Amino acid sequence: MRKFVEFLAWMQIVISPLIVAVIGGGIFYLYFQGLTRIIGWILIGLVGLILGIVFANRVTRKTSATEFISRALMLRRNLIITIKIPTDVFLQATEV
Beta carbons within 8 Å of 90's beta carbon, 6+ residues apart: none
Question: Full-prediction pTM beyond 0.85?
Answer: no
Say whether pLDDT at 83 is over 60.
no
pLDDT (tens digit per residue) in 22-81: 999 999 889 888 898 899 999 999 999 999 999 999 998 888 888 888 887 777 666 655
CA separation for the pair 88, 22 (Å, rounded) = 40
The pLDDT value given to residue 53: 95
CA separation for the pair 66, 7 (Å, rounded) = 9
The pLDDT value given to residue 14: 93
Q: What single letter denotes the amino acid at residue 23?
A: I
Spans of all domains in the chain: 2-95
* Tally of CB atoms within 10 A around 16: 16
- Ramachandran angles phi, psi of 85, nearest 5°: -100, 130
